[in-house]
Amino acid sequence: MKNTRGEIIRIADDLIRTRGYNAFSYTDISKQLNIKNAAVHYYFPAKSDLGTEVIRFRISDFHQRVQSWDTLPYDQQLVNWITYHQHKKENKCVCILGALAPVYDTLQENMQTELGRFSNIILEWLIDILAKGKQSGIFNYKESPRAKAYLVQSSLLAALLLNKVLDDDVFQAIQNSILMQ
């Protein structure tokens, strides 16, 4: 009944988001599972194979999540997306985009491609609800939906990063600014 492959992805996701892609090894994962690092290579021959799967896991999680919000008002969907990020605050881990974007140039091509895909998926979704919400009068920001989406996603991503370095609660302030419009 155990799912080693799934566990590996979950642990790798956590390690990438707390310590960074270039700061974890297969041994870090195998220790947590009480197996040898060769066993991890059985599932993911190369580290970039694992990295790619972690991003795909995040994409799939994203799809599931926003789909479950499908019938909610647009402003509530935006609040949910903000709150989803806040949940990561306790252990101070960042989102996969914030973890991988700074080392983009060091990543294998398959990881770069998948990361680009994920960014576009998130932004297209954000642009969509921001545009529809503006049409329906729920939102009244002044920029284009695309510019607003960039601002929202940038703020959320960086709030998690700054939270690691600063003592203050950056997230709360950012959240208010976004919703204030």
Partner DNA sequence: GTCTATATGTTGATAGAC
Partner DNA sequence: GTCTATCAACATATAGAC
| Footprint on this chain of a copy of itself (rule: CB under 8 A) | 18-20, 22-23, 92, 94, 97-99, 101-106, 115-116, 119-120, 123, 142-144, 146-148, 150-151, 153-155, 157-159, 161-162, 164-168, 170, 173-174, 176-178, 180
| Minimum separation from the CB atom of position 165 to DNA (A) | 21
DSSP count for the chain of H helices, then E strands? 9, 0
For residues 92 and 94, what is the distance between their CA atoms, to the nearest angstrom? 7
For residues 81 and 126, what is the distance between their CA atoms, to the nearest angstrom? 9
- CA-based end-to-end distance of the chain: 48
- Give yes or no for residue 36 binding DNA (CB under 7 A): yes
| Partner touching 87 among a copy of itself, DNA, none, CB below 5 to 8 Å by kind | none
- Nearer to a copy of itself by Cβ, of 4 and 22: the residue is 22
* C-alpha distances in Å from residue 43, one per residue of 7, 16, 88, 93, 180: 11, 18, 27, 25, 46
| Minimum separation from the CB atom of position 24 to DNA (A) | 7
Contacts with DNA, residue ranges (CB under 7 A): 2, 4, 22, 25-28, 30, 34-39, 41-43, 45-48
